Structure 1
């Protein structure tokens, strides 16, 4: 690390790995003079980004003070808004959940009603966690549709009437008074699973199978969004020549034949009581033969798309999330059957395919990570330190 690069933000990045370090260790890592390291540590301490560690390090003389990242310096608001369900959380800067809440909130109610509910719910969670809004460093929001990365605006979201082009960051920012970061819900789930459950996998595909189907892509431990933020929208890849019409207007899309909504519709047509993905899973768990058959075939259809992606992207792991992940091996068996038989042997040599580990929390953890990685980036920290100098 060069002297020019090692600002206060760079020192904080070093300390964020969870290990306490002394001034001497930081001097060795950065090449900075002791006075410069001390000055930058003082600036970070003044804003409570770091605190003295309880573990003093002694080499025979007076113990040297070690400094550690303070995960409680600020708190984060996180929300994962799905098609019909919302989960919210307040976390610290290590994604530790301090308070959380979930509720059935139809995204079709429109932006002002849904976001108004969100603001009220955030205030209740802050009260519950014993924190105030002035301790919040930002809010991360996941939406169930395409989001333009640079602006945070939803763009032609097929299941979100009234949301197209709505200024979600601006609307929430004016009411909460904190930075607002918005992304697609599958992207934040991918971030959450990678951060908390699979940090060792450098290249990862997270596939959400619920009302719709989408994927989040992690490459070299970073979220890949593409040019505008549309990367990973696998639900609209054509997998059949049938005339089944997708909500996007095309026919034969993966989402139209293998999503929870599509399977629920087929089960209703067969006389079963299935309104959504969760009902499909409940029928599978109850041993309903038709539901089991449909879920296994859905796994094969999803596997057909994933086999092509495995050959193209060569991920180290595929994680299946969303409500349909609760069908477990019935869905995974179909996915694995096709992926392992139709992908190149080298690409599948060490490939793991499993269901999510964070259950419904992946989205809010990922939304929190979205904020944390932005707020604690070296440039933003350096600006904050300079502003308080």
Structure 2
């Protein structure tokens, strides 16, 4: 296997265009690649040979012959390399190994406290990742990169968290540099909602070019996919839905002068606080979910109202971005249909008809491994970019 550092030397050679074509999993002959790309025979042969030497594509049988020797097909080999994916939450962490298609090969989840600080948490992540690699019997040269999701704002260009409210000690900490002490590969970091959006888009809605993923849990955030690509904004803060001040509307049960932000009104802790005001013991998102599943009328009504308030903000998002799908995830969404019903109720009533004509508002289809799947996809998209950004393959 050729070492990954050789990818850097192919930058600008155009091999990414052919690799992107083959990543759909369909085996093709060199002639078929020529026909699709419009490239000359010699150019296709040179680029395919480069990909074969890197181990990224390989033989995939023969095509039907029209006379003479049957032409050989080639196909993308997602198992040729692996990605290490790390999903860090407030109280848990998941580490996984995937192939270049984002398929999970192995993973493990443990309880942790993100407030323990970056050194302790990243030491656990690095040790766990190294153990998974050793258990899988893969050499270090097979690893193309590490993807990390954290529960707070991230400056994606540097991989540093910025003033994360539930991550004391993490502000401006150089996460990539810390992990490169163990893994000599690119390390990409993003907030947890963005990697959830990447995972949901890739696994459940690959044909939806415009999608908004909304996470409703301890906090509220959104990941925005537009034109088929995740939108991070200028500094990486795009999608910060939780800090949007919610406009009062006639359907709201709030006072007309209540100008709190969405997180202060509709997050799990906010709903729990309202339940306590009504004499019901609730202190967390988990408590809210448990009460809803038990059929508690107060909890059901408040979750539905939280959905309406979220919908009031999303109506503006729909008018502005015109997504085809809004996916609602996070712990509160898993309590049942009340949250999504409230979102739909407000969005469809307050958005313009053209924007909602074909809009689907659905519950997330992802499971507990969605975060590591999205973190892996973030790395795969960067390293195997059609823009030939092979320089990401170097530390």
Q: TM-score, normalised by structure 1?
A: 0.91
Is residue 2:24 matched to residue 1:17?
Answer: yes
Matched, 1:202 2:225: no
Q: 1:84 to 1:265 in 2, by over 3 A?
A: farther
1:113 and 2:142 are equivalent in the alignment: no
3-state secondary structure, aligned to 2:78? coil
Q: Which protein has greater RCO, CA pairs closer than 8 Å, 6+ apart?
A: 2
What residue number does 2:153 align with? Answer: 146
Partner residue of 1:182 out of 185, 189, 198: 189
How far 1:178 sits from its partner (Å)?
Answer: 1.5
Q: 1:382 to 1:181 in 2, by over 3 A?
A: closer
Measured against aligned partners, the alpha-carbon deviations of 1:17-59 in whole angstroms (never above 9, x if no partner) come to: 2111111112223333323322222221111100101344422
Cα separation, 1, equivalents of 2:143 and 2:12: 28
* Paired position in structure 2 for 1:70: 77
Check 1:240–1:227 CA distance in 2 against 1; reply closer, same or farther (3 A cut).
same
After TM superposition, give the deviation of residue 159 of structure 1 in Å. 1.4
1:283 paired residue number: 291
Q: 1:384 to 1:26 in 2, by over 3 A?
A: farther
| Counterpart pick for 2:372 among 364, 368, 373 | 364
1:151-178 Cα deviation digits (max 9, x unpaired): 1111111111111100001111122222
Cα distance in 2 for partners of 1:345, 1:177 equals 51
Q: Which runs of 5+ in 2 are unaligned?
A: 1-10, 249-253
Query: What residue ranges of structure 1 are gaps of 5+ in the alignment?
Result: 244-249
Note closer, same or farther for the CA distance 1:382–1:308 as it changes in structure 2 (3 Å cut).
closer
What's 1:247 paired with?
A: none
Give distance in 1, aligned partners of 2:280 and 2:130: 41
1:288-322 per-residue CA deviation (whole Å, 9 max, x = no partner) reads 12211221111111111111111111111100011
Give the root-mean-square deviation of aligned CA atoms: 2.3
In structure 1, what is the Cα distance between the partners aligned to 2:148 and 2:133? 16
Q: Corresponding residue for 1:29?
A: 36
Matched, 1:323 2:338: no
Q: How many corresponding residue pairs?
A: 377
- Residue 276 and residue 126 in structure 1: after superposition, are their counterparts in 2 closer, same or farther (change >3 A)? farther
* Equivalent residue in structure 1 for 2:225, among 210, 218, 222: 218
Q: Following the alignment from structure 2 to structure 1, what is the Cα–Cα distance between the partners of residues 389 and 186? A: 14
Q: 1:28 to 1:308 in 2, by over 3 A?
A: same
In 2, the alpha carbon distance for the partners of 1:8 and 1:200 equals 24
- Could you say if the C-alpha distance between residues 279 and 121 of structure 1 is closer, same or farther in structure 2, counting changes exceeding 3 Å? farther
CA contact (8 A) 1:7 1:382 kept: no
User: Within 2, Cα distance between the matches of 1:181 and 1:124?
Assistant: 20
Q: CA deviation at 1:268?
A: 4.4
Shift of 1:284: 0.5
SS at match of 2:102: coil
Note if contact 2:55-2:77 (Cα within 8 Å) is conserved in structure 1.
Answer: yes
Asked whether the equivalents of residues 156 and 188 of structure 2 are also in contact (C-alpha less than 8 Å), the reply is: no
Q: Where does residue 354 of structure 2 map in the other structure?
A: 346
Q: Is 2:117–2:168's contact at 8 Å kept on the other side of the alignment?
A: yes
Describe the shift of the 1:15–1:90 C-alpha distance in structure 2 as closer, same or farther (beyond 3 A). Answer: same
2:100 aligned counterpart, secondary structure:
coil
Counterpart secondary structure, 1:232: coil
Change (3 A) 1:96 1:143: same
Shift of the 71–209 alpha-carbon distance from structure 1 to 2, 3 Å rule, reads same
Matched position secondary structure for 1:281: helix
Shift of 1:75: 0.3
